[in-house]
Amino acid sequence: MATTLDDLRDLFALDLTGAVLTCGGCGERTELHAHDLYPDAPALVVRCPSCTAVVLRFGTGGGRIRLDLSGTRLLTVTAPDPAGS
Amino acid sequence: MAAVSRGFHGRGRRDERLPPGQRDIGDGFPVLTAGPTPHTPLDEWDFVVQGQVDGLHRWTWEEFGALPHEPVTVDIHCVTSWSKFDTRWSGVPIDTLLEDVETAAEYVVAFSDGGYTTNLPLEDLTGGQAWVVDTYEDEPLAPEHGGPARLLVPHLYFWKSAKWVRGLALTSFDEPGFWETFGYHNYGDPWREQRYAGD
């Protein structure tokens, strides 16, 4: 079955703290919760613990939710129902 | 009645200095940081003006310290909605740093240790509106507040006053910086409450 944009809701409905991010800078693979977090900036800034590059930015404000993953090469999450994949 | 009237007058005067949506933080000075605090040794520090300019303009820490400094007392306004009145700094006017620079550039990207950048129109850095400051409240600027030196552009939201600034890249095109690429306003005028793109 073809993958559609509607399938994105499966990703964003998951708890991402156990997701593995591959850093776009150095290629290191690290679980999201093991990254260096900077929550006191105007938005949450998540940095690679290996090379300190920004891998993710997340912010809420002005009536919008923003997510920047341009510093992440790959985001991997275990599917909730592997049998259905 | 008289006491009530004085209270209203006092609050009125204070509010005139508060841009819309801001609150007075008083004596506090929150530290907002998007990354580890750099600690560049002063003998490795320099400040450069580069890009669309006639050659490289560079000052070592010693040379920067020898430039004429001026005291600056200004109100500052953070996009996270706190404002702080009458902050006292000392630094070198950007006008001084650009004095011998020939350029046709209209935009600037300020860049910092740690990789932070922010973009501004060149005309917002000149005419006595901006400084590179190395002193706060008569003390060397602390690393958590951007020391050894930071940009100070008090008429724009404080994210434009780049901490740990190391130079200015002059360009003919506008290149959004760290927060500007994340949906924050490209210009950031607190009096027009330009927090986010589209405000």
Mean pLDDT of all residues belonging to chain B = 93
Q: What is the mean pLDDT of residues A34-40?
A: 93
- Strand, helix or coil at B95? helix
At A41 the pLDDT is 87
Neighbours of B131 (CB within 10 A): 27
Query: What pLDDT does A13 receive?
Result: 83
Check B196 against A62: CB less than 8 A apart: yes
As to burial, measured by CB atoms within 10 angstroms (0-12 exposed, 13-18 middle, 19+ buried), residue B80 is middle
CB neighbours of B128 closer than 8 A, spacing ≥ 6? B93, B95
Nearest to A57 among B182, B196, B199 (CB): B182
Q: Helices (DSSP H) in A1-85: which residue ranges? A: 8-12
Per DSSP, which regions of B53-164 are E strands?
Answer: 57-60, 70-77, 82-93, 107-112, 117-121, 131-136, 139-140, 150-152
Out of B32, B80, B182, whose CB is closest to A66? B182
List residues of chain A with CB under 8 Å from any CB of chain B: 36, 38, 40-43, 45, 47, 52, 54, 57, 59, 61-62, 64, 66, 68
Residue B9: what pLDDT? 43
Asked if B196 and A64 come within 8 Å (Cβ–Cβ), the reply is yes
Interface TM-score (ipTM) > 0.90: no
List pLDDT tens digits, range B13-70.
558 999 999 999 999 999 999 999 999 999 999 999 999 999 889 999 999 999 999 9
Contact yes or no for A40 and B199 at CB 8 A: no
Query: Do A40 and B181 count as a contact with CB atoms less than 8 A apart?
Result: no
| Nearest CA distance, A81 vs chain B (angstrom) | 33
CA distance A28 to chain B (A): 18
- Judge whether residue B5 has pLDDT over 80: no
Q: In chain B, what residues touch A68 (CB-CB under 8 Å)?
A: 181-182
B179: nearest CA partner in chain A: A42
